[in-house]
Structure 1
Amino acid sequence: MRIARVLFIIFLFITSFPLSAIGKDVSEEMLLFFEEKELIIETPARHKQKAKESPSSISVITEDNIKKLPARNLAEILETVVGYDVTYNGNVRRSNIAARGLLDTSLTKRVLFLVDGRPANRVGDGIFDIGFETPVNNIERIEIIRGPGSALYGANAFSGVVNIITKPPKEKGSGDIAATYGTGEAKGYDINFNRPIGNIGLYLTASGLHFDNEGIWNENEQVNRESIGLKAVYKDLTLSFGYNDNDKGLPQKGRYAYKDFVSENLAWFLYGDYKFEPAKNLNLDFNLYLNTSDNKLLYSDKVQSAVNQDQLRDERRIGGEVLANYEISDKFTILSGIAARHERFEYNLDLGADERHSTSKAIFLQIEGKIEKGIVTIGTRYDVHSIYGGHTSPRLSFLYNPMDDARLRFAYGNAYRPPEFLEMYGYRGSTRIGNEDLTPEKVNSYEAGIGYTFSKYMDADITMFYNDIEDIIVFNSGTSKYQNSSGTGSTRGIEVELKSRPVKSIHLFANYTFQETHNDYTEDRFAYAPKHKFNLGLTGEYGSSVLTLTAGYKGSRKDTFGNDLEDYMVINGKYIYSIKKNIDLSIIARNIFDKRYVVEGHDPQYTTGINARAYIYEGVSVWLGLRYQF
Structure 2
Amino acid sequence: MQQASNKWSFHSLLYYRNATVMDDTIAYITQSGGENKGQVGYFRPNDLIGFENQVDFTPFTSVNFIAGLVWEEERLSSGFSKSYSGSPDQDPPTPEKPDMMTNHKVSGYFQTQLKIISYTELTVGFRHDDSSYFGKVDTPRFGLVFNRNLLTAKLLWMYAYRAPKPWDFTDGLGNSDLKPEKMRSFETTIGYTFFKRLRSEICFYQNLMDDHLVKEEIGEDWRWINGGTANTDGLEVIMEYVKDPVKMYFNYTYNASRLEEGGALPEIAYNNANVGISYAFRPDTKLDIRGNYLGERKNVMSGTVTGKDTIPDAFIINSTLTFLNCKNFDVYLMIKNLTDEKYYHSSNRPVEKYRQPQRSILLRAEFRF
Give the structure-2-normalised TM-score.
Answer: 0.81
Map of 1:498 onto structure 2: 239
Contact 2:11-2:53 within 8 A present in 1 as well: yes
2:225 alignment partner, one of 457, 478, 484: 484
Q: How does 1:115-514 map to 2 (within 5 A)?
A: 275-294=1-20, 295-296=22-23, 311-347=42-78, 354-371=99-116, 372-401=118-147, 403-426=148-171, 432-477=172-217, 481-501=222-242, 503-514=243-254
Aligned amino acid, residue 196 of structure 2: K
Structure 1 unmatched ranges of 5 or more: 1-274, 427-431, 606-610
Contact 1:314-1:347 within 8 A present in 2 as well: no
Contact 2:77-2:166 within 8 A present in 1 as well: no
State how many pairs are aligned.
Answer: 338
Question: C-alpha distance in 1, partners of 2:235/2:245?
Answer: 30
Contact 2:110-2:126 within 8 A present in 1 as well: yes
Q: What is the deviation of 1:291? A: 2.5
Q: What is the deviation of 1:417? A: 0.4
The alignment partner of 1:530 has SS state of coil
Question: C-alpha distance in 1, partners of 2:56/2:293?
Answer: 42
2:271 alignment partner, one of 528, 532, 535: 532
The alignment partner of 1:477 has SS state of strand
Contact 1:346-1:356 within 8 A present in 2 as well: yes
Question: C-alpha distance in 1, partners of 2:126/2:348?
Answer: 44
Distance 1:591 1:388, change over 3 A: closer
Structure 2 unmatched ranges of 5 or more: 82-97, 303-308
Distance 1:602 1:397, change over 3 A: closer
Contact 1:510-1:536 within 8 A present in 2 as well: yes
Aligned amino acid, residue 194 of structure 2: F
1:617 alignment partner, one of 332, 348, 356: 356
Contact 1:311-1:347 within 8 A present in 2 as well: no
Q: What is the deviation of 1:528? A: 1.8
Q: What is the deviation of 1:585? A: 5.9
Aligned amino acid, residue 620 of structure 1: R
Q: What is the deviation of 1:594? A: 2.5
Question: C-alpha distance in 2, partners of 1:349/1:293?
Answer: 13
Aligned amino acid, residue 157 of structure 2: Y
Deviations 1:539-565 (A, max 9, x none): 112247422211111222111115122
Question: C-alpha distance in 2, partners of 1:324/1:446?
Answer: 28
Distance 1:338 1:555, change over 3 A: same
Q: What is the deviation of 1:624? A: 4.2
Question: C-alpha distance in 2, partners of 1:309/1:443?
Answer: 35
Question: C-alpha distance in 1, partners of 2:122/2:3?
Answer: 25
Contact 2:216-2:225 within 8 A present in 1 as well: no
Contact 2:268-2:297 within 8 A present in 1 as well: yes
Question: C-alpha distance in 1, partners of 2:49/2:326?
Answer: 46
Question: C-alpha distance in 2, partners of 1:625/1:318?
Answer: 31
Distance 1:614 1:325, change over 3 A: closer
Question: C-alpha distance in 2, partners of 1:392/1:539?
Answer: 43
Question: C-alpha distance in 2, partners of 1:309/1:552?
Answer: 32
Question: C-alpha distance in 2, partners of 1:481/1:601?
Answer: 17
- What is the identity percentage for the equivalent residue pairs of Structure 1 and Structure 2? 22
Map of 1:573 onto structure 2: 319
Q: What is the deviation of 1:568? A: 1.9
Q: How does 1:96-111 map to 2 (within 5 A)?
A: none
The alignment partner of 1:424 has SS state of helix
Distance 1:616 1:322, change over 3 A: closer
Contact 1:475-1:482 within 8 A present in 2 as well: yes
Contact 2:280-2:286 within 8 A present in 1 as well: yes
The alignment partner of 2:125 has SS state of strand
Contact 1:530-1:555 within 8 A present in 2 as well: yes
Q: What is the deviation of 1:584? A: 6.4
Q: What is the deviation of 1:533? A: 1.0
Question: C-alpha distance in 1, partners of 2:163/2:129?
Answer: 11
Contact 1:494-1:513 within 8 A present in 2 as well: yes
Distance 1:530 1:376, change over 3 A: same
Contact 2:267-2:346 within 8 A present in 1 as well: no
The alignment partner of 2:178 has SS state of coil
Aligned amino acid, residue 486 of structure 1: G
Aligned amino acid, residue 67 of structure 2: S
Contact 1:519-1:526 within 8 A present in 2 as well: yes
Question: C-alpha distance in 2, partners of 1:333/1:406?
Answer: 24
Distance 1:586 1:414, change over 3 A: closer
The alignment partner of 2:169 has SS state of helix
Q: What is the deviation of 1:388? A: 2.2
User: Counting strand residues as a fraction of each chain, which structure ranks higher?
Assistant: 2
- Across the aligned residues of Structure 1 and Structure 2, the Cα RMSD in angstroms comes to 3.2
Contact 1:380-1:393 within 8 A present in 2 as well: yes
Distance 1:614 1:339, change over 3 A: closer
Distance 1:538 1:477, change over 3 A: same
Please tell me whether residue 591 in structure 1 is matched to residue 343 in structure 2.
Answer: no
Aligned amino acid, residue 421 of structure 1: P
Question: C-alpha distance in 1, partners of 2:135/2:354?
Answer: 40
Distance 1:618 1:376, change over 3 A: same
Question: C-alpha distance in 1, partners of 2:23/2:188?
Answer: 45
Contact 1:312-1:347 within 8 A present in 2 as well: no
Q: What is the deviation of 1:284? A: 0.8
Contact 1:565-1:601 within 8 A present in 2 as well: no
Q: Structure 1 stretch 368-377 or stretch 569-578: which is displaced more?
A: 569-578
Question: C-alpha distance in 2, partners of 1:386/1:435?
Answer: 16
Aligned amino acid, residue 463 of structure 1: C
Aligned amino acid, residue 395 of structure 1: R
